Each structure stands twice: as C-alpha cells, then as structure tokens.
Structure 1
Amino acid sequence: MTSPTAGQVVTTPTSTVTGTATAGAVLTVRLDGTVVATVTVDGTGQWSVPLTGLTQGNHTVTVEAVVERPSRLYWAAMLDGQRPDTLYVTDPTVSATPLATISVGSDADGVTASRDGLRVYVSHEHGVDVVDTTTNTVLTTIDLAGHTHLGSIHPTRNELWVAQRDLNRIARVDTATNTVLGFVALAGEKPHDVVFAPDGSRAYSSNIENSISVIDATSGAVLSTLPIGNNNRRLLMNQDGSRLYVTAYGQNAVVVMDTSVQPPTVVTTIPLQSPVEDLVFNPDFSRLYASLPEASPPVIAVIDPATNVRVTADTIRGSMTDIRDLAIDPWGTGEQIVGGNAGFSQVYSPVTRGPIPDRQTTVADSFRIYDSDWARQRETATASVTFAVDLTADVGVHKTHAGDFVVGQDGVYTIAITNHGPAAMPVGTVVEDVVPTGLTVVAAQGTGWACAASGQTVTCSATAALPALATSTVQITVIPQASVGDSVINRACITAANDANPTNDCDDDLTTILHPSLGIVKRSTPPNGTAVAAGNTITYFLDVTNTGTAPLTGVTVRDAIPEATAFIAADPVVAPVDGVLTWVIGDLAVGATQTVQFQVRVLPIGTTVAIRNVAQAASDQTSEQDSNLLIHPFDPTSISLVSFDAVIMGGMVDLRWVTGSEVNTLGFHLYRSTTPNRNEATRVTTSLIPSQGATGGSYHMTDVSVVAPLGQWSYWLEEIELTGQTTWYGPVTVRMHTIYSPAVMR
C-alpha cells in the first residue's frame, strides 16, 4: 500500500487507499476486519479504494491480493511394468497436446490439488509425491511405508488425508511441512477414497469391504462405520454437504446418503447397468456424471441430483474401452468432460453427447489413467497498515479593533478565526459576540459566515468549512452612544463541534471610547452688563474650546450681529451674510481653544433696552452649542421696556412684554420670522394693540399660527408713537425650548 502510510494522521472522515499489485489480481480490502471493497488491479498495476465514514481513532486497512492462473488438469498415467509413472499437465478444453509431463512414483492411483492450486499430491505405491505446479517439478516425496490411493485436502486446514487400503488406514499429512501427522485406523475396512464435509467437521471414507466410515475430522476418531454398498470405490459430496454419493462398484449403482443427520442414512440407490467407477458434478451442481467402464460400449451416465434419477436420453457415448476417471473444470462452463482410460484421455461434450474431435491425448505404454484433478494456481499476499483518524480541530479567536472609537462614529471590531488543525473546522461553527451596552450594532459580515444581530448579540454561523492552518475574519461595525463610558471590554467566543482545545475559544478586547465635546464662551469689551450709548463700540470675543476627549473636525462659529448695532470688523476677517458672521475653524485638538472676535457700533435707539448677543459653535462630531448671553443696557427713549419674552406652550408661542412707562405711545405690533433677519419678518398682529397709558403696562398675546416643532422663531416688537414714528425691539428667539431676551432696533 502506498497510502495511507503507517501512523499517518487522516483528518477527514473520507480517505483513499492506494497501492500497487500484480495486474489482474483481485483484491479484498478490509477496514478494521470488515470487507469494504473487492477490486481488480488495472493493467498498470495500480489500484485504489475510497474509504468513507471514518471515525475518530486508529484504523487498520488489510488488503488481500489473489492472483488466479488459468486452470490446468493434472492426470496420472500408470505405465506397464514396475517403473515410474507419468503425471500429465494439460488444458484439454483447448488442446490435446500436453503442456508438461512429470515423472512420479509407480502405480500412481490418486491425484489431489491443493486449495491454492500451487501443489498437486500424487499417491503411489511408496507414498505421496509433492508437485510444484509453478515449475511442474516434484519437490519431495512423503514416505508412507505402503501403497496410497485416493485422497482429499481438508477445506480449512493444511492437511491431506490419503487412503492406504492395504494397511486399513487413512494417513494424515501436514501439507505445510510435508510431514505425517498420524493415521486413522479402519480395522479391516480397506479404505479406497476419502472426502470432507464442506465445513471440515467430518470425513467420510469409502471402503472396499462394503462400508462407509464417518470420522471426526478434528480428532480422527471413527464415529461410525455403516454397511453400505459393495466394493465401494469413490465418494462425492454436493455443494452444501447434505448429500454423499457413493460409487458401489460391485452393486452397479450409486448410493445417495443424507449426511445432514448423524449417522448418515441412505436416501436412495440409483441403479445403473454396469459397475460405476467415478462421479463428477458439473460446475452448477445441476448434473451428476458417472463413468461406467465395463458397459458395452463404455458410457458416461447422466443423473439429475434433484430427483436422483438417471437421465437416460443424455447418456454420453464413449470412444474408449475403459472410461474410469472423470474430470470437469470447476471454474469452467461444464460443457466439457475429460474421461481417462487405458491408453489415452478424451474430452466429451454433454451437448453433443459424444467425444469432441481432436481432443484425445494418447499415452504410450499406458496401463490406465485412474485419477486426475484440476488445479488453479491461486497466489495470495496480504498487506496491512494502521493509521489514525483525527477529526478534531483547535479553533481559536482573536479580537482586535483599529484606533479608539468615537461617540457617534463607526467603529469596527475584527474577529480573526484561526483553525490550528489538524482537521477542518466544520460548517455550522458559531461565533458569538455580546456587544457592550452603549455600542449600537450597525453591521456584521464575513466571507464564509452568515451573521445576524439581535439586540446586543451578534451571531455568525460558518457556511463553509475552514481548512487546517487557515484563518477567516468577521467584522462587526458599531456606533458608540453618548451614554457609553470611557472604555468597554468586548468578548467574542467560538463554538465548534470538533474543537478539542477550549482555552483559545474566547478573546477580550479593551476599547477606549472618545467623547467629543465643544464649548463656546462669549466675552466683550466693555464687559457684560456695562451700559452703552449710541456711537459706542462693543468688541465681542468668542472662545471655542475642545472640551472632550476626541479631536474635532469641521469646527464652525456663528454669531448674528446684534440688533441696534452696526458691524465694523471681524478677526479673522469674515463678512456678514444675512446679518450673520460665520468662521470656519476646522480641526481642533483635545483641550485646544480658538478665539475669534468682531466689533459693532451702537446705533441711536432712543429707548431704555438691552443689547443682547448669543453665539453658536458646532463641529462634525457635535451638534450646535450656544454660548453664554451678553447684555449691554441702553439709555431710554420713548418707552421703558422692562421685559420682552416668548415661551412655547402646547405647540403655540406665548408672547409677553412689560413697559415701565410709555411716552406718546399709540400701540404695538408683533412680527415673526424663521431667520434672524427682520427684513424677512411678517406681522403676527391683525390689529394694533393699544397703549395702556403713560405709566406703562403688561401685555400678552398667543401666536397660534406656528406649527410645532419648527426649528427656530424670532419675534420683534414694533412701538408706534402718536407722531407715526416707530421703534423696534427684539428679536426674542424661541429655539430648542431656549428663550433669548431681546436686543433693540429702530
């Protein structure tokens, strides 16, 4: 065998056994003692057999090779006089020409082939010659100190039993060592032939003294001797060992015995017209042929073993004067019978019921041909190998991430799954990751994995096996929320059906979470709360600071030019757009502060109000943040405005203002806009709200025409004097539920 090799570790439940052998050899392949295949080696000497269903552990493959050569007929010709006889080797079904001749001991009575066809044993007057059928030479002679006759090979043991008629015994020979094991004594019975039951438990001998002996084939003990027949010659058993056929030569009959019972009983006696010498079955046991050497002319009788009746119409006529031996190739078709007699052998056809022309082998000086046997060389060789099957896999995970995670931004975890072998990681292996609270799962995927998320739990199932020493990855995308802490520990675990090492099945990953935060502080010169008059200059400073733990990008600052002021300049230089200044600061490192400033000039208003200002700052990572409110009081003009406020109530805006005094005031109108630009405002009041008198008053109006939630609303209060002159106050802005007090415009 070339594979698997001894000690090899197979990591799959399937494998292939391969090897080389003699072309045409038949191989029987066993796995742990069970036959899994029978194959024939191809013309190049190669063979292979797949193995499936291999389980964990050690396994042994055993291969038995059998090479079977063409069958050959070995028959002994007894020559005239006291001299060596000749053993002929022929293929009579093809040609009458002998393939070889072998000189053997004189008075050769019996020819018996071994089960493997590599030896032929020739019984003669001095013992048994052992013939090597490969070289067709006599290897040795087993001396039995007396004439030997017909014999038989034990079906399971290396034993030849051969009858010694004149010594009233059966010799037992060890064919492995060609030594005599012992004898079975049959007092006065003169055994002539011996056969075994198919299972090797019994032996039967035909005795010239009109009896049949039953012998225990293991101990050699004679179990019974039955008075059967007359001048009994040869024995034949059927395929299953239930029938024994005896040629009762002196009775002109074949005796059929039932050997399924012990001692055997006679089933029937088949009468024939003359003495019977030999019996042979065709290969399928459907016909029994009997030689009648003294019939005139000699014939071969045909018997139906199913009915034990002679089929007279099928009788085969002989071409010789003394047909004694019969032989049919047990591996052939059964259409040719070889008959042996004095002087020659002849092949007969059961189909034509006569001799086949040109199939006669003549033997000069032959006295008779008494026995033959077919030999088919069957060479065997065995090889075995033990290998191991290891279906386990050491599967481990390693969890990583790139950089720190930032609140509000995608973060990606990578889970590396490595199969350290030796077997493949199976389909259905599961990776599970319970994502920490505060991280929202956005996506999970991996080549060869099917992933799904349920709440914080991500489960990925392998859709393809992972070979040994291979790695695959699963990626989980999350977004940290503001509620998450400064760090989290995320654990991933793997579960594989064949994992043999649990120590690397889980891995923890410590992740730092960065929280972006932006602050804006507003200051001014003159300081907050300082009263200003028309013509004064106010300088506003906007300090923007990264107050979080994450770098910020896209930082912007926005500030609306206060009402009742005029823009002068800004640093860095920007120009107002629709009354709003916008600075693009860009990146802002953690803890860094960037300051911008602008100047305005106070316009003459003529009223006692406050100039109010709030700025906003935003970044790519943070939403817009308001600064602190700066208020600069202003000297009074026609009215003293104590307060002007707007509050969201139930989806509407409640507007209230209070005056401390009113001079020449006719009444008020209210205006609203979604931008800080008063020029885009529309009037809310449908009619003038009348003045409550010189001592001032408290006013209230509800704006029901807004639809919540809107982003932002700005309101202005217009005072109309008796002279028709107008003064503007505001705006007051309602945004994100935050209310800003008014600045003043005229």
Structure 2
Amino acid sequence: MSLSRLTAVLLASIMPLSAAAQNAGDRVYTADQSSNTVSVIDPSTRKLLGLIRLGDSVPAALGPLYKGELLVHGLGFSPDGRTLAAVSIGSNSVTFIDTATNTVRGKVRLGRSPHEAFFTPNGRELWVAVRGENYISVVDPVRLTETRRIPVPDGPGMVLFNPRAPYAYVPSSFTPELSVIDTRTYRVIARVPQASPFSPNLAVSPQGDQVWFTLKDSGKVQVMQGLPPFKVTATLGSGPVTNHVALADTSAGNFAYVTVGGLNVVRVYTRDASPRLVATIPTGALPHGAWAAPDGRRVYIGLEAADQVQIIDTANNTVIGQVPTGQLPQALVYVPGAVRSGEGTANLTSLDSTRRTLTVTLTSRGTARATVSINPLGLVDLVQIVATGLSPDTAYVLRLSLPGGQTEDLAALTTTAQGGVTAQTIGPVKQILNAPQGAGQLSVVPKAGGAPVLVQTK
C-alpha cells in the first residue's frame, strides 16, 4: 500500500470519531426527579442549554395533579434521535418530546410507577417497564396509545433490545429474575436468575453478545450472554448502591462503566470472557445515570446528590468536566443527532441558581458512611440520605442537632440486610446548616438510643 493510500485509510478511520465527538447536534439529557425537568446539555461545548419543564417542582407538585408530570425519572430515545421519551413515576406517564424544538408532542398514561422505557430498533414501538405492576406496556408512539401488555415477573425495572437479534431484556426490581422476550411473538422465552431481586438498570453491547445488569440491593453487576442459552457468565462485586451501567467501545478495548452511589465512584471493567476491574474513578456525590458517547471517547455520569453531570475521558479514565442540571438527576442518555439544524435552544427555561443543592457527608470510625443532599424547594428543602455500611436490619434516625442542645429527628431509617438505606424527608434544613458555625449538624443515631454512628463532616 502506498504512503498516500495508507494516509487516506488512517484519516478515514479517524474522522468519523472526531466528527461524532464534535457534533453540535448531539445532546445529553437527564431526568430531574425533584424539579420535574429534563436538562438539555450540548456535549460539544459541555454546557447546559436549559431545562424542559414537565411539571411544577416539589412541593408544589404534591397537590392535586391536574396538569404536569410528577417525579420525572426515566429516559429513552428513538433510533433517529428525534424523539425523547421521559417517564414520570409519580404521574404514571410517558411524555414524548420533540428534540429539535424541546416541546411536548404528546403523552400516554400508564400503570402504576413506570420506571424506564425504550424504543424498538425500528422505532415503531416504545416498550415501558411498569415497575409497580407486572408487565411491559407496548406503546404506539404515533397514535400515542398502549397497544398491548407483555406479562413479566413483578417489578420490571428496565427494557432494552439486542441490536442484532430479536430479543428484549427485562430485569426485575422485586423478583430475582431477568426475562428475555422474543420481540416477534411478544413472549418470554427465557428466565435468567438474578443474584438478588433489585435490578434497576441494564445495558446491551453493540455486538449483541453481552447484557450487563446492575443489582442495587446487593451491590453487584452481572453479565449474561445476549444470545441463547442466555447464561450468566460473571457476577462482580461492584459496591453498595450500584446504580447504572454504560458500555463503551474505545480504541483501547471494550469496557463497562458502573456507577456505585454508595462509594461515589465509577468502576471500570473489561468486557472480555472474564471481566476484570481496571479502574476506579472518584466522582461527585451519588453517581447514578450513565451513558457513553457513540465514539466511546466520553462517558457521561449524572450525580444524583450534586445536581450535576460529570464527563469521563475514557482514554485515561479521569473526570474532565462537569455541567449543572436540574434537581436530583436520575436517568441519563446521550442522543446523537438530536438537533439537525439551528441551535436547538427553543422553549428551554433557565436553571434557577438559587436552588443549588447542598451536599454533606456523614462518616464514622469504621466503614459506614452517608451522603445527604438538601434540595431547596422554597420555604422547605427536600432531604435525601443514602447510607451504607451500617448494621443490617436495624432501625436508625436521621437527626438534626439545633442550637442550645435541641434535636429534631428528620427521618426514620431501617437498613437492608446489606446495611444500607435510602430515605427522603422535607424540612427547613439548608438554612440551619448554612448558619454560623455550630448552628446545626446532621447525624445518624440508633433508634433504640446511644451515641451517633455517623456524624456530619462537611
């Protein structure tokens, strides 16, 4: 091969990656559960363009819900990138958003607490995992109607499709079983045991050979074959509050990026026959949603307790930037070609900088720790605690110490068999914690009495 021919071949292999990385029409979206918004980020500039407001913020949204959505949580997108599907677990709905104009073009009401949704590879159907029920809702995205229900075990957490074979994969959040559905017949053809019941998320490799699914309750991630016999090939101990997984094909190989909320890290594993941990990346507070750019150069991580998206460079597995979002970002997706012309900023609202989340850490002399996020809601705050490393199956309380020795118990906490707990409450907390030194402090104490086991450090 001549030098000029070799140069042309090398340029042809490099240019698609560069173009993909710099496409101003690509978008990163987060579903913001407390502010009931969808944050819109331009990955080429690493800037927040604005918010799509789907409902009032909590607590205003806690009244009679005559309009708007509540607890915006899940995200999916059409193969052409022109439609975003946002799932709201509080209003039992999926909202269809035009990505070019950031406007709602319709919504469908579903069963109790839908969690995540995704379009079929041909874009003709949207499948929604209705976690509060025992079925997948199949929705016609043009007629905006539910066309059928596919029975699965209680608590389906998510659904994704094999890009090269007629299979859909549905892990469960209540039943230790993952269902494989034949998309031609809408029937479950395989039931794969999960190591524990609570699986909120999964990812399917571009090659269609692997399915990775997370287990939030036991702090594991499992790998199974994407094709028959759908055998589980690996079970990895990722860490407490394992949330989402993103698969990235890079120039150095193929990897899985797993968010571990209890440790504030992202674990990176190889995707070969025997997956190995190759990196642990420190992040901000409570990493949750994750998605890789199509070229594999970047992985985007939503920080649930910091109202932020952090950007990981997969070449060196370091965080290279962050972008603010709405409150309590949950699911995150990267949508290539979402905007075909123009700036794509129409109908977006600005972020309210006065409602920045305050994040504090509670630690102990041992391995127990907790992250507490305080989201301002006006006169009161939404307080969320995620604690790990406590005694299993034990009752605690989240306590606020006030000036003069007074205390106020904010929330009752009962740990799981793994010693973890997540809880939410509402109260005027941020103002007290931001008062002069010594005015207020958070701790976790046994409900039965005794000294604090976790104490606020920052």
TM range (shorter): 0.5 to 0.7
Shift of 1:307: 4.5
Matches within 5 A, 1:341-740: 341-342=304-305, 343-351=307-315, 353-357=317-321, 359-363=322-326, 366=327, 368-377=328-337
* SS of alignment partner, residue 132 of structure 2: helix
Aligned to 2:272: 306
**Alpha-carbon contact 2:247-2:254 (below 8 Å) kept:** yes
**Alpha-carbon contact 1:109-1:148 (below 8 Å) kept:** no
Aligned to 1:276: 242
Aligned to 1:60: none
**Alpha-carbon contact 2:30-2:302 (below 8 Å) kept:** no
Aligned to 2:290: 326
**Alpha-carbon contact 1:348-1:356 (below 8 Å) kept:** yes
Question: Which one of 181, 187, 205 corresponds to residue 215 of structure 1?
Answer: 181
Going from structure 1 to structure 2, the CA distance change for 1:317 and 1:307 (only over 3 Å counts) comes to farther
Aligned to 2:81: 117
State how far apart, in whole Å, the 2-side matches of 1:90 and 1:221 are. Answer: 38
State how far apart, in whole Å, the 2-side matches of 1:223 and 1:333 are. Answer: 32
Q: What code does the residue aligned with 2:219 have?
A: N
Cα deviation 1:654-707 (Å, max 9, x = unaligned): xxxxxxxxxxxxxxxxxxxxxxxxxxxxxxxxxxxxxxxxxxxxxxxxxxxxxx
State how far apart, in whole Å, the 1-side matches of 2:44 and 2:302 are. Answer: 12
Aligned to 1:241: 208
Going from structure 1 to structure 2, the CA distance change for 1:201 and 1:324 (only over 3 Å counts) comes to same
* SS of alignment partner, residue 218 of structure 1: coil
Cα deviation 1:34-93 (Å, max 9, x = unaligned): xxxxxxxxxxxxxxxxxxxxxxxxxxxxxxxxxx9721011111116xxxx001111145
Question: Which one of 15, 27, 35 corresponds to residue 72 of structure 1?
Answer: 27
State how far apart, in whole Å, the 1-side matches of 2:216 and 2:335 are. Answer: 27
Specify every segment of 5 or more residues in structure 2 that has no aligned partner in the other structure, as ranges. Answer: 1-22, 56-68, 341-458
State how far apart, in whole Å, the 2-side matches of 1:300 and 1:149 are. Answer: 23
State how far apart, in whole Å, the 2-side matches of 1:91 and 1:307 are. Answer: 35
Question: Which one of 249, 254, 259 corresponds to residue 291 of structure 1?
Answer: 259
**Alpha-carbon contact 1:165-1:190 (below 8 Å) kept:** yes
Q: What code does the residue aligned with 1:260 have?
A: L
Cα deviation 1:124-148 (Å, max 9, x = unaligned): 1321001011110111111114321
Please state if 1:192 is matched with 2:157. yes
Going from structure 1 to structure 2, the CA distance change for 1:362 and 1:224 (only over 3 Å counts) comes to closer
Shift of 1:352: 5.1
Cα deviation 1:528-578 (Å, max 9, x = unaligned): xxxxxxxxxxxxxxxxxxxxxxxxxxxxxxxxxxxxxxxxxxxxxxxxxxx
Larger radius of gyration: 1
Shift of 1:99: 4.2
State how far apart, in whole Å, the 1-side matches of 2:119 and 2:277 are. Answer: 31
**Alpha-carbon contact 1:301-1:310 (below 8 Å) kept:** no
Q: What code does the residue aligned with 2:291 have?
A: A
Please state if 1:340 is matched with 2:331. no
State how far apart, in whole Å, the 2-side matches of 1:323 and 1:266 are. Answer: 26
* SS of alignment partner, residue 337 of structure 1: strand
Shift of 1:169: 1.0
Aligned to 2:167: 202
**Alpha-carbon contact 2:309-2:323 (below 8 Å) kept:** yes
**Alpha-carbon contact 2:181-2:187 (below 8 Å) kept:** yes
TM-score with structure 1 setting the length? 0.38
**Alpha-carbon contact 1:118-1:376 (below 8 Å) kept:** no
* SS of alignment partner, residue 109 of structure 1: strand
Please state if 1:183 is matched with 2:149. yes
Shift of 1:110: 0.8
Please state if 1:144 is matched with 2:110. yes
Question: RMSD of the TM alignment (CA)?
Answer: 2.3
Going from structure 1 to structure 2, the CA distance change for 1:244 and 1:317 (only over 3 Å counts) comes to same
Please state if 1:257 is matched with 2:208. no
State how far apart, in whole Å, the 1-side matches of 2:31 and 2:239 are. Answer: 28
State how far apart, in whole Å, the 2-side matches of 1:224 and 1:158 are. Answer: 24
Q: What code does the residue aligned with 1:115 have?
A: P
**Alpha-carbon contact 1:283-1:329 (below 8 Å) kept:** no
Please state if 1:161 is matched with 2:127. yes
Cα deviation 1:298-344 (Å, max 9, x = unaligned): 100010102443334x22111x22101112221x4513533332222
**Alpha-carbon contact 2:26-2:43 (below 8 Å) kept:** no
TM-score with structure 2 setting the length? 0.61
State how far apart, in whole Å, the 2-side matches of 1:378 and 1:272 are. Answer: 33
* SS of alignment partner, residue 161 of structure 1: strand
Please state if 1:133 is matched with 2:99. yes
Which deviates further from its counterpart, 117-126 or 102-111?
102-111
Going from structure 1 to structure 2, the CA distance change for 1:237 and 1:87 (only over 3 Å counts) comes to same
Cα deviation 1:607-646 (Å, max 9, x = unaligned): xxxxxxxxxxxxxxxxxxxxxxxxxxxxxxxxxxxxxxxx
* SS of alignment partner, residue 149 of structure 1: strand
Q: How many pairs does the alignment contain?
A: 298
Cα deviation 1:106-163 (Å, max 9, x = unaligned): 1122111111111000011321001011110111111114321112211125111010
Aligned to 2:45: 94
**Alpha-carbon contact 1:156-1:200 (below 8 Å) kept:** no
State how far apart, in whole Å, the 2-side matches of 1:89 and 1:70 are. Answer: 12
Which of the pair is proportionally richer in strand? 1
Q: What code does the residue aligned with 2:161 have?
A: F
State how far apart, in whole Å, the 1-side matches of 2:206 and 2:298 are. Answer: 19
Shift of 1:379: 9.2
* SS of alignment partner, residue 191 of structure 1: coil
Shift of 1:247: 0.7
Going from structure 1 to structure 2, the CA distance change for 1:378 and 1:110 (only over 3 Å counts) comes to closer
Specify every segment of 5 or more residues in structure 1 that has no aligned partner in the other structure, as ranges. Answer: 1-67, 381-746
State how far apart, in whole Å, the 2-side matches of 1:69 and 1:182 are. Answer: 37
Q: What code does the residue aligned with 2:27 have?
A: R
State how far apart, in whole Å, the 2-side matches of 1:324 and 1:150 are. Answer: 14
**Alpha-carbon contact 2:111-2:133 (below 8 Å) kept:** no
State how far apart, in whole Å, the 1-side matches of 2:44 and 2:227 are. Answer: 35
Shift of 1:100: 4.5
Cα deviation 1:357-404 (Å, max 9, x = unaligned): 4x23153xx2x2110212233799xxxxxxxxxxxxxxxxxxxxxxxx
Going from structure 1 to structure 2, the CA distance change for 1:278 and 1:379 (only over 3 Å counts) comes to closer
**Alpha-carbon contact 2:33-2:329 (below 8 Å) kept:** yes
* SS of alignment partner, residue 182 of structure 1: strand
**Alpha-carbon contact 1:92-1:338 (below 8 Å) kept:** no
State how far apart, in whole Å, the 2-side matches of 1:362 and 1:99 are. Answer: 8
State how far apart, in whole Å, the 1-side matches of 2:85 and 2:165 are. Answer: 19
Matches within 5 A, 1:6-85: 70-79=25-34, 85=36
Going from structure 1 to structure 2, the CA distance change for 1:90 and 1:134 (only over 3 Å counts) comes to same
Going from structure 1 to structure 2, the CA distance change for 1:254 and 1:322 (only over 3 Å counts) comes to same
**Alpha-carbon contact 1:120-1:131 (below 8 Å) kept:** yes
Identity %: 21
Tell me which of the two structures has the higher relative contact order, counting C-alpha pairs closer than 8 angstroms and 6 or more residues apart: 2
